[in-house]
Amino acid sequence: MSNYQLHANETTISIPRIITVDSVNYYEILVKCGQVMWTVNHRYRDFAELHDQLVSERGVSKDKLPPKKVLGNKSPTFLKKRQEALEQYLREMLIFLKVTMPREFVEFLDFHRYDIIFLVQHLASSLFLRGDAFLAKSKKYGFSVLELHAISERMQIPCPPTEAACSNYNFSHILDFCAQLETIIVLPTKNSLPTILYDDDTDKYIPHALHKPIGSSNLIPVQLRYELSVFKVLRNLIIYGVPTENIQNVGALRETLSRIEVYKSETKQICQIALCDNVHKDAAEDELDKSKQWKNLRHAVFKENQLTVIDRTIRLFPTVKDLVLDKNKLESIAHLSHLNNLQILSLRCNRIAQCANWHVQLGNLVTLNLSQNRIRLLEGLGKLYSLVNLDLSCNLIDDINEIDYIGNLPLLENLRLMGNPVAGGVGKLWSEIYLDNEKGNQTEYDMALVLSALRISAQKSHRKLHSLLEPGGSTSAEEQQAKQKNDTERAGPSGGAGS
């Protein structure tokens, strides 16, 4: 973003061309402030209104603005001269108003949209007037990544003179407002909030603006870094179309957050979310820093990204109950055995073809959505004893005998098979099955617990047996003593005499 306070001497204004829309001439104004540039279009009437304000309130000479002309104001020669005169006018006003930068001049040139100081002041003024009324109705607010970047940058610079001159622009209005919010939505631009955020077809509501310039500027959302330390009691964080890697500091969020949702952010690894504020986001480190755990997180939605694996940093969400990984590129699952509270897992629209021994990782799962994958075989789901709801619709299951593996699960109530070859072969009745249309009773719950306990015990026994059969495996002290005794007995007295 631009910083006029830092680059005032490098700021330039020009009018490179005239744009005609419906027979109305607009002068395209190009503003450059440091490395940032943007354009804003105004007709002559807008210049005249600005000039009247500057004359009455800022002491600008009345004859500075090129005069209005009634006849012949459409001729190319006249328009060219007026274009040059208006450009000169703006340059003179910038020099004259360089120190004070009055609000009407700032907004005429769109500094309040693309400059750190003036954007923050514009937001502060808005929250000063309407912030309390807004919080009384809702603790939820949507920020553009540009606003969060500006707030983060403003925290690192001293108070500008233009802010000290008016209490409405005080930065504390923003800090107070943010400290009370419980839910925020982070968006590429302010107007990119979809009509229905959770709809499956959100593409028709929101353009994917991750790499598109913001407005008429050369600012790109993917390049803007921001921090979230100003949010002290935040419980829900929704990030849509903005990289989580651009977060510099999550502040207290690891302690307060109970829900996080990340959509269409081109996320390829879980570590980009779990360790979003780490400089080095290495998912292969030997030890995970426990101070980085999201201790109260219950619901995690990482939907419509580019995840190819579930890396080990998923362990940093130890309390999560609902995990949604829909519309990614996953072919398998991993490291989920560390999520002891996981009850709901959705893997819809991925690339999963195998689900062998999933009970090892999903022992306490209640609801599993595997619709729209590439699954043919169900044996790997046969020991998910706590499963109540299973969605296998739109897969490749073509053998009716595969249903036997899941048909005896003690708590399974709802099974969806629509869209599979096997469903079409046996009629519509098999597309959606309610096994007894009742919740599991105490006997069934007890059976599920017993089966789970037996499975865990069998796994431990198998591991122990495997360790004993390994070459060079450890031998207990009692076994060593018994072996030594047998050797002595076989040697007998003669062995002793020979020695």
Residue pLDDT, tens place only, 238-271: 999 888 988 999 988 999 999 999 998 889 999 9
pLDDT tops 60 at residue 395: yes
- Residue 358's φ and ψ, nearest 5 degrees, are -70, -20
**Residue 74, SS3?**
coil
Name every residue whose Cβ is closer than 8 Å to that of residue 193 and which is 6 or more positions away in sequence.
Answer: 142, 185, 187, 206, 240
Residues 259 and 235 sit within 8 Å (Cβ to Cβ): yes
Write the pLDDT tens digit of every residue in 61-102.
Answer: 898 998 887 655 678 888 899 999 999 999 999 999 888 889
- Residue 38's φ and ψ, nearest 5 degrees, are -155, 165
Write the pLDDT tens digit of every residue in 2-57.
Answer: 888 889 889 999 999 999 998 889 999 999 999 999 999 999 999 999 999 999 99
pLDDT at 75: 82
> What is the average pLDDT across 344-353?
96
Position with higher pLDDT, 203 vs 277: 277
> What is the average pLDDT across 419-445?
58
Position with higher pLDDT, 191 vs 30: 30
Scan for tokens 């302010």, then name that residue.
190
- CATH fold of 116-194+208-280+291-384+394-402: 3.80.10
pLDDT at 469: 53
Enter the tokens of residue 258: 């109970």
pLDDT at 204: 42
pLDDT at 19: 93
> What is the average pLDDT across 167-189?
92
What CA–CA distances, in Å, run from 122 to 106, 173, 177, 360, 474? 10, 11, 14, 55, 71
> Could you tell me which of 353, 356, 404, 359 has the C-alpha nearest to residue 376?
353
> What is the average pLDDT across 182-187?
93
What CA–CA distances, in Å, run from 25 to 20, 66, 132, 242? 4, 16, 42, 37
> What is the average pLDDT across 468-481?
49
pTM of this prediction exceeds 0.85: no
Name every residue whose Cβ is closer than 8 Å to that of residue 38 and which is 6 or more positions away in sequence.
Answer: 30, 31, 110, 113, 114, 215, 216, 217, 218, 219
Instruction: Return the amino acid letter for 236.
Output: N
> What is the average pLDDT across 197-203?
43
Q: Where are the domains of the chain?
A: 4-113, 116-194+208-280+291-384+394-402
Which class is domain 4-113? alpha beta
pLDDT at 351: 96
Q: ∠ CA 262-263-268 to the nearest 5 degrees?
A: 80
Return the sign of the alpha-carbon dihedral for residues 276, 282, 284, 288: negative
